[in-house]
Structure 1
Amino acid sequence: MATEILGGALSKIGEYLVEATIHQVCYLFRFKSNVESLMNEDKNLRLALDRVQLQVNRAKRNAEDIEKDVQKWLDEVSDIITAVQKLGGEIQAKKTCLSGLCPDLGWRYRLSREVEKMTGKLLNLVNRGKFDRVGHIPPGIELFPSKDFVQFESTKSTFDQIIEAMKDDKINMVGIYGMGGVGKTTMAKEVPKKVLELGIFKEVVFAAVSQNPNVRNIQGQIAESLGLKLDEESDARRATRLMKRLRDEKQILIILDDVWARLDLNMIGVPLGGGCRILVTTRRKQVCHSMECESQIPLNALVEEEGLALFKRNACIGDELPTLNDLAKEVARECKGLPLAIVTIGSALKGKPIDEWNVVLKKMKNAKFVGVEDVDADIYALLKLSYDYLKGEETKLCFLLCSLYPEDYEIPLGDLVIYGKGLGLFEDANTIEEARSQLRVTINHLKASCLLLDGGNEELVKMHDIVRDVALWIASKEKKFFSKAGLGLKQWPKDEGLEQYAGISLMANELEVLPVSLAYPKLEILFFDCNYRAEVEVSDQFFVEMKALKVVHLGCGVMSVKSLQFLTNLRSLCLDDCRLKDIFSIGTLSRLEIFILRSCFFDELAKELGELGELRLLDLRDCRWLRRIPANVIRSLSQLEELYIGEVSFRTWNVEGTGAETSNASLYELNSLSHLTMLSLSIEDKCIPKDFTFPKLIRYHISVLPSDSRGFDSSYFSETGSHGHIEIRGSRLTSFNAFKEVCHTLQTLEVSDCNALTCLFTVSLARSLLQLEILSVENCSLMKHIVVADNNMPVREGSHIVLPKLTNLALSELPNFMGFYEGSDYSTWPSLQELTIYECRNTSPSFTVFEAAGKVCSHNF
């Protein structure tokens, strides 16, 4: 029996040994087929990488965040491609082994085994590289506002209570309440970071409600964060769609900030319960009751020691100066533990001498406000004190200008330049560009004083709601500005004394009828928006008794420019989405410097526009009905610095010398504008004369398109940023010569479906591309090289091209493409981060062997 058992065991061991031996021997005989399998899977992985990388590039251009699993896959692919290249180099070193003539059996066995394992890894990555989506629109909230959030013992206790309430599945709504300026919004913006980190929620959405809630606006904020587009006209239908979308979410937190009264969640489209929970911030505890918050958490002022620590941090003082420290204690005590007051006053006193501290302390003790609801009245006095200590009237006026926008509005710096220039600010600036520079200095000073906040990007700013209230109080008291912006007004306000104001803002309202005329003799700046459905008429007498006006912004009105003919002091005129009966009287506005006709309805630009000898900026973006710009009008604008004609605006320029019977403007007129530095233009390729060259420009977005194509989205073009962008799509252009004068500032170049181009740049032109960051060339059937020799001259030996700022290079579907540089020498891209080559079958494989910023490029021949 024992013998049988032993014999069976030995037999089984023998079978395993034989199988193992055969498997090991197979590594020797299957070496060539293993290598072929590796090459096939490597090719499949590169194809998958190209597909995913193209999707990732599109997502990044759409400002989306890349999914974590996608980024992990890309990193793994990058690593394994490097490993395969290294393995391939080792195999290539002993080519004879592929034909079976390898005497080194140990090497052959080891490598065959390694190749087989590598092939399995490649196959796994290929199978994993099928993603439903590669990115998502980031939530509309800054998740890490650490520079604003300073955690003290008292605030930590409140924060911990909020997080504990979030962990409780039985609690659907949490309310944070406390006086204005105590830091509710700042704390609410810190919550997402923690709840996402703990996995309590998978998504967080933030919406500012404000004192006068606008249902449509709140719906829009939530939908935008979700990547949902609400096209419905009625608020009710939008609410239904939003409700359905939110019910699909398993774990989502909706933060409703600055709620003043009970909010009807059904009207907005926010479900309660299930996977959707809500965090409310409010100044009033009764709001928490009325909204039936299961957890109601107070946020109190800082205790004295905490207030002092925060004050010293913002005033930048240490413990080495006893006298200053004693003063700091007194000043901080007067701030009543309110973070907004502490930060603002501390910033105002930073770097100031002791005498000035004493003066401020005395004013703080004496300054009092009365009749202020839902906020400690002292904070108004303290913020007014910060305003008083601003340097220069320009800075103060810029601050007050920001109060003319609705509460929680993100204020474009470009607007402030236009309105400030019209009011006579930046008088030392010789150009609009210089005015922008001066504005940036002013804005930075206001931010440093904590009177303005960062917006969603570097070209936007915001005002804290209490700071805005104080600014409006100051402006009203000094009879400078009156504002009822964003209140949903349908009629012109009947407030007494409006004739005393220098500025009136009825921005973001829905006025349905306008007075025939108004007597505002001191008015210099006027903003008002009408209901776009009501087709509100602006009478020809409306502006007759407003002769001091320097700045006008009108949205969604129906008017004749004739009604403006009395405004001989007007310097900035902004018309948004207006229906214009005519603009032939525009020539009477002889002092006009800035003329914006954005999304307006009219078909012909008046030749009288050429009489505006002081005009510096002309904006005709999105004027989809514009068919004619009379010849020589643009040429006559000798002082013009900035011209915007983007997207679906005018594109049918005249080509001089073709004999076409037309009186439209020609591109040649641009070369008569010696002051032109900024251009936004969408044009058909047939309208570019053969010998035309664009003038030298600082910023531009030029789009060359076929006649049946829609232009670029002009909302992406920045008036305040530094950018040179050219897009050429479906064009029959045979060279890039028309753009040679702007190459020195070119940052982004996108070329697609251009089947007459064989190259883009000559060597001399390529050497001027010192600012180029993004280059994309796609589906150009004749494209052979990106860079060729000048005038068919041979490339000199040792010739070398450096593109120092190029970070992204994408070449796809170029069947005749042979290489980047026609010459025998090479080009260098020291900043390259992404290189994508797809369907370029004539390209030399050596062209794709790069390491760019630690990343391996992807390619598919």
Structure 2
Amino acid sequence: MEFLVAMGTGIVSKLGEMLMDPVTSQFKHLIHCEKNINKMKKELNNLKDRKRAIEGMVDADRRNGHHIAPNVEHWLYKVDNVVENELRKVYDDEFVNKNKKCLNGLCPNLVFRYSLSKKAGKMAQDLVSLKEQKFDFISYPAPLPTLGSTFTEGIKSFASRESIMAEVVEKLKGDEFNRLSVCGMGGVGKTTLVKELIKILEADKVFDEISMAIVSQVPDYRRIQGQIGDTLGLKFDKETLQGRAAQLLERLNKINKVLVVLDDVWTELDFELIGLPSNGQCHKGCKILFTSRNEDVCHRMISQRNFTMPVLSKEEAWDLFRDTVGGHVADKAEIHNIAKEVANECRGLPIAIVTIAKALGNKEKHAWEDALDQLRKSSLTSFSEMQEYSIYSCIELSYNFLGNEEAKFLLLLCSLFPEDFDIPIEVLLRYGVGLGLFKDLGALCKARNRVHTLVDTLKKRFLLLDSNEEECVKMHDVVRDTVITIGSKEEHGFAVKYDAGQTGSKELIWHHSAISLVFDEIKMHPKRLQCPNLRLLQVYLKRREPISENFFHNMSKLTVLGISNLCIPSVSSPFRLLNNLCTLRLEDCQVGDISVICKELRKLEVLSLAHSNIKELPAEIGKLSLLRLLDLTECNDLDQMSSGVLASLSNLEELYLRVRNFHWEEKNSILADLKSLSHQLKVLEISITGIHILDLELKSLVKFWIYVRDSTTLSHGFGRRGYLHPNILKLNGVYHKDIKENMAIQQLLKKSEILNLVDVKQLENVIYELDEEGFPHLKDLSIEFCNDLKYLTDETVYASSCVFPLLE
């Protein structure tokens, strides 16, 4: 019973408390209304102070390019919403001012007072909660922009570029290639192409990250690391190159698929010192693409595939020129034809096209005509925009960076030839020999190898181009103009070029050491050249006309003279003062009597009369004791050789006797002379009648073109324009027994790369009847009208892979 009473008392007491709490709370809201409102105002001011502080930090971070944290942005929005909207619901100043008595406790409207106090108290708590909200960070760095988005200029779509880009993209998408390169001459657009490639790769999401660094001619490894690190968001905290390299490599290894582009690479780079993966050091997803104007550098950096960028085609060049200058200008009736010719003069080099188009875009017709004149005359140095936009410095940098003085020398020699000329490599050799460039090499064959090596170097640097003509190279006009400018700027300039109709004797400056003259008409050339320091002179004429007797006056230092298509009826007068001449080329000339050459030119080492009309090789030529090369190619009027003339040439290394229908069978003394010097010859080109008279010692031959025919066969149909073709032997109308028994022919068969057998009589089995040991160097075998032939070889005795190991 007591328990029940106690329980009932507790319940009543609890019910009383529960009833009293709400009542007390209601009275508190009524009593503390003014206090709650003041607290709300105070907390509102505190919140505004915090908001101003946060906004200050937000503004500062935004100015630094940071992104504001979403929760901070939301907080600022919420604060604004509370101040602007929620507080009005609680505390309308205008309404409260009308009810001041209520706020002072004199208002009979207890309901209003209670509601206002309750809302103010709740709002004060909310304001405190907002003010005290904590943030881990206000902002964070903005994500790095994609590399492609930083490139402002695009590349116009050209077929010559699209095919390259498509193939590069294909290779980069696959797993087979991790190092690729793009090569080309300076100004051809390599950088523009790789930038467009980057945009394509980013759009296709081929890589997770793409980075790019510009290397330039003197690599700064720290700067390269910085450029790559910046695009990858990597902050280096190491001081040494090796430490930074380790950081960069670690960062690259953490990216699933990454491409690093190294632009404008001039020398082989140490990938390890940069922090780039060497082969096998990084996962397959890390790939490297580099651009260079030196193909050798790409090979040394183990590029698995090199893409060579050509100049633009004529149509592409015009499209680019027209777009750059603006169709509204290029299509004007008075400008259009001139614009087309100006575009053609740029020879497809994008940097020249864009530069000149920009320079002429707002010019009148007279400026266009003047520009065309300058371009045609190759006087681009006076075209100020060419200097302003560094076209010349772009090419000059490639020239200076060659390092090899012989390569520079050879490039200067190439600049002596006319525009768009097919430059014979053999002529470069002969000029170099005359200038003493290869004295340390000894034999001409070794010097020839050096010249070809230098030519390869210049081609791989895109300073020389391939030619469609055999054993020739070409030079881009802009490169040529630049090299001419380089040569003529020097105090004792090596190369200067004067074109037809532009040269008077007063213009031929004394200090020049090499000059090339090209004339349309003989009347336009000067009668006398005042060039006492001249060492090389080259003269071209479009039609044969006489040369002045005083043309070479005051040229005692001349060591190389090349004359084409001139008429020199009296050889003694023009050459009488050229005592130091080492190389003389009188090609395609009407030269008359040449017996006096030996009297005046005792230092000659190279003499070429190719394609000239000489009728006799006089005995006096034998007095040229230093002569190392004699070229009589296609001197088809040649009918007489003085006895002993060849035998007297004790230093002769190379003899070119590709002369049609010379009557060898009547020249027993000449054959004896030829036999006496054959052991010392390194190069022999000869068309000769009758295998029985080819009794020569030819073990020393390195290069040859030899055509042996019977007396009834005319020497034609087996011509050759260039030099240094693979070793050729043609046997026409002879008996196979004579071939087998002739020691000279057997020596030639061992070295032949091209063998042409025509109407070889009684030949049944090539190997057995000609040479049982086979043809170790043969690549091309041609057999015509050998009507008795049954077998090339008997495979029961000889395996074809042994007797024809290189046959193509």
- TM value normalised by structure 2: 0.52
CA contact (8 A) 1:423 1:551 kept: yes
Q: Which residue of 2 aligns with 1:775?
A: 781
Cα separation, 2, equivalents of 1:522 and 1:509? 26
Q: Residue by residue, what CA displacement relative to the aligned partner does 1:810-837 show, whole Å, maximum 9, x if unpaired?
A: xxx32xx44445x8942222289999xx
Counterpart mapping for 1:490-505 below 5 A: 492-494=503-505, 496-505=507-516
1:744 and 2:757 aligned: no
Report whether the alignment pairs 1:729 with 2:732: yes
Q: Contact (CA 8 Å) 1:403, 1:472: kept in 2 or not? A: yes
Give the Å deviation of 1:695: 5.0
Query: Cα deviations across residues 197-247 of structure 1 (Å, max 9, x unaligned)?
Result: xxxxxxxxxxxxxxxxxxxxxxxxxxxxxxxxxxxxxxxxxxxxxxxxxxx
CA contact (8 A) 1:601 1:626 kept: yes
**Residue type of the alignment partner of 1:684:** T
Given that 1:400 and 1:471 are in contact with CA atoms closer than 8 Å, whether structure 2 keeps it comes out as yes
CA distance in 2 between partners of 1:724 and 1:491 (Å): 43
**Percent same amino acid at aligned positions?**
27
C-alpha distance in structure 1 between counterparts of 2:548 and 2:484, whole Å: 30
Q: Deviations over 1:516-553 (max 9, x none)?
A: 43222111111111232xx3112333223211111111
Among 518, 528, 540, the residue aligned to 1:529? 540
Q: Does 1:586 align with 2:557?
A: no
Kindly provide the CA deviation profile for residues 350-395 of structure 1, in whole angstroms up to 9, marking residues without a partner as x.
Answer: 999xxxxxxxxxxxxxxxx885345754232233233233324322
Whole-angstrom CA distance in 2 between matches of 1:469 and 1:496: 18
Quote the RMSD (CA, aligned, Å): 4.8
- 1:632 offset after TM fit, Å? 1.4
Tell me, yes or no, if the aligned pair for 1:507 and 1:528 is still in contact at 8 Å.
yes
Aligned counterpart, 1:480: 493
The residue correspondences of 1:792-807 to structure 2 (distance < 5 A) are none
Matches within 5 A, 1:545-584: 545-559=554-568, 560-562=570-572, 563-584=574-595
Partner of residue 682, structure 2: 677
Distance across 1 between alignment mates of 2:503 and 2:213: 45
What does residue 827 of structure 1 align with?
Answer: 798
Using the TM superposition, give the Cα deviation of residue 619 of structure 1 relative to its aligned residue in structure 2, in angstroms. Answer: 0.7
- 2:650 aligned partner: 638
Q: Which amino acid aligns with 1:729?
A: N
**What amino acid is aligned across from residue 644 of structure 2 in structure 1?**
N
Map 1:167-186 → 2, pairs under 5 A: none
Determine the structure 2 residue equivalent to 1:598.
610
User: Of residues 446, 454, 457 in structure 2, which corresponds to 1:445?
Assistant: 457
| Structure 2 equivalent of residue 618 of structure 1 | 630
- Per the alignment, do residues 772 and 626 of structure 1 end up closer, same or farther by CA in structure 2, a change over 3 Å counting? same
Counterpart of 1:724, as a letter, is N
1:684-699 equivalent positions in 2, closer than 5 A? 684-685=689-690, 688-689=692-693, 694=698, 696-699=700-703
In the TM superposition, what is the alpha-carbon distance from 1:641 to its structure 2 partner?
1.1
Distance 1:834 1:765 in 2: 14
Contact 1:635/1:672, CA 8 A, preserved across alignment: yes
Q: Any residues of structure 2 matched to 1:206-605 within 5 Å, and which?
A: 322=225, 343-344=292-293, 371-373=383-385, 376-456=388-468, 459-478=471-490, 479-484=492-497, 487=499, 489=500, 492-494=503-505, 496-507=507-518, 509-512=520-523, 514-532=525-543, 535-559=544-568, 560-562=570-572, 563-587=574-598, 588-605=600-617
Q: Deviations over 1:108-163 (max 9, x none)?
A: xxxxxxxxxxxxxxxxxxxxxxxxxxxxxxxxxxxxxxxxxxxx99998522xx56
Q: Which amino acid aligns with 1:608?
A: E
Deviations 1:549-588 (A, max 9, x none): 1111111111133121321111111111111121011113
* CA contact 2:505–2:529 (8 Å) conserved in 1: no
Give the whole-Å Cα distance in 2 for the aligned partners of 1:630 and 1:512. 37
Normalised to the residue count of structure 1, the TM-score between the two structures is: 0.49
- Give the Cα separation in 2 of the matches to 1:187 and 1:708: 56
Residue 671 of structure 1 and its aligned partner are, at CA, apart by 3.9
Q: Is the 8 A contact 1:591 1:612 kept in 2?
A: yes
Equivalents in 2 of 1:671, 1:190: separation in Å?
57
| Mapped contact 1:748–1:774 kept (Cα < 8 A) | yes
Alignment of 1:28-177 (within 5 A): 158-159=156-157
Q: Which amino acid aligns with 2:729?
A: I
Aligned equivalents of 1:732 and 1:648: distance in 2? 22
1:634 positional shift: 0.9
Deviation at 1:633, TM superposition (A): 0.8
Structure 1's 472 and 739: CA in aligned 2 closer, same or farther, altered over 3 A?
A: same
Letter in 2 for 1:567: L
Partner of residue 723 from structure 2, selected from 719, 723, 739? 719
Distance 1:510 1:819, change over 3 A: same
Quote the Cα distance in structure 2 between the aligned partners of 1:405 and 1:631.
Answer: 38
User: Could you tell me how far 1:449 is from its partner in structure 2?
Assistant: 3.5
Counterpart code for 1:158 = K
Q: Distance in 1 between matches of 2:540 and 2:694?
A: 45
Cα 1:326–1:347 change in 2 (3 A) is farther
Rounded to whole Å, the distance in 2 between the matches of 1:507 and 1:188 is: 40
Distance 1:189 1:498 in 2: 49
* Worse-matched range after superposition: 596-605 or 324-333: 324-333
**Residues in 2 aligned to 1:154 and 1:433: alpha-carbon distance in whole angstroms:** 53
Rounded Cα–Cα distance in structure 2 between residues aligned with 1:607 and 1:596: 17
> What's the secondary structure of 2:755's corresponding residue?
strand
1-structure distance, mates of 2:597, 2:610: 16
> Counterparts of 1:187 and 1:305 in 2: how far apart (Å)?
10
Count of aligned pairs:
491
Partner-residue secondary structure (3-state), 1:595 = strand
Q: CA deviation at 1:436?
A: 1.5
Task: Tell me how far apart the structure 1 counterparts of residues 649 and 213 of structure 2 sit (CA, whole Å).
Answer: 54
CA distance in 2, matches of 1:824, 1:346: 44
Larger Rg: 2
Cα contact 1:491–1:511 (8 A) shared by 2: no
Instruction: Tell me which moved more, 454-463 or 617-626.
Output: 454-463
CA contact (8 A) 1:627 1:652 kept: no
Structure number with higher helix proportion: 2
Q: Which amino acid aligns with 1:322?
A: Q
Q: CA deviation at 1:612?
A: 0.9
Alignment partners' CA distance in 1, 2:592 and 2:548 = 12
Q: Counterpart amino acid of 1:421?
A: V
User: What is the alpha-carbon distance in structure 2 between the residues aligned to residue 649 and residue 617 of structure 1?
Assistant: 22
Return 5+ residue gaps in structure 2 as ranges: 1-149, 168-186, 199-210, 232-259, 267-289, 302-380
Q: What amino acid is aligned across from residue 700 of structure 1 in structure 2? A: F
Residues in 1 aligned to 2:295 and 2:444: alpha-carbon distance in whole angstroms: 34
CA contact (8 A) 1:523 1:548 kept: yes
| Aligned CA distance change for structure 1 residues 629 and 304 (closer, same or farther; 3 Å) | same
Conservation of the 8 A alpha-carbon contact between 2:571 and 2:593: yes
Distance in 2, matches of 1:583 and 1:426, equals: 28
For 1:504, the aligned partner's letter is I
Please identify, of 489-498 and 378-387, the stretch whose mean Cα deviation from structure 2 is larger: 489-498
Aligned pair partner of 1:700 in 686, 689, 704? 704
| Structure 1: distance between partners of 2:776 and 2:261 | 55
The separation in 2 between residues aligned to 1:382 and 1:776, in whole angstroms, is 48
Inter-partner Cα distance in structure 1 for 2:771 and 2:709: 23
Change (3 A) 1:717 1:578: closer
Check conservation: 1:734, 1:758, Cα contact below 8 A.
no
Amino acid in structure 2 at the alignment position of 1:561: V
Find the residue that maps to 2:664 and give its secondary structure.
Answer: coil
Report deviation, 1:745.
0.6
More deviation, 604-613/431-440: 431-440
Any conservation in 2 of the 1:703–1:726 contact (CA below 8 Å)? yes
